[in-house]
Amino acid sequence: MIESFERLLGGENPWVTLGDFLDDWRRSQPIDRSTLVEQPLREVTSLEEGRWAALYAAAVEQLCAQENFPAPSWVTSKQYYLSVPWYPGVKTENLRRLYEETTPEIFKQHNILAGDRLLQLSNIDRMGCAAKM
């Protein structure tokens, strides 16, 4: 996960880097998954980086919850909770309302409203989505 986030900070498409992390998670044995997420993300320097850091933290917390094992403590650090809701890629009010209704509670707690399919999409789907943003 650290490698994917570092690539994001280096300017790569954030949806691709997140997708790569999700692919790594899915390909890993359950016993090895905690190793993927044990280290915290490095400090961010901009609002945009902070949003993505919060999304990564929420994703890690959600994935751990789905696997029924404890999330690493770093995901609950204050820096990973946005003060203002963020709707990644949302361009319409209808989509905003849909995401408010369908976003999993863990993401809502981090103030990330991105719907209930964020962790289900394939990397190719995310790349196509990113091109439309």
3-class SS letters over the chain: CHHHHHHHHCCCCHHHHHHHHHHHHHHCCHHHHHHHHCCCCCCCCCHHHHHHHHHHHHHHHHHHHHCCCCCCHHHHCHHHCCCCCECCCCCCHHHHHHHHHHCCHHHHHCCECCCCCCCCCCHHHHHHHHHHC
pTM of the model: 0.88
pLDDT in tens, 111-125: 999 999 888 865 444
Domain extents in the chain: 2-132
pLDDT in tens, 27-65: 999 889 999 999 999 999 999 999 999 999 999 999 999
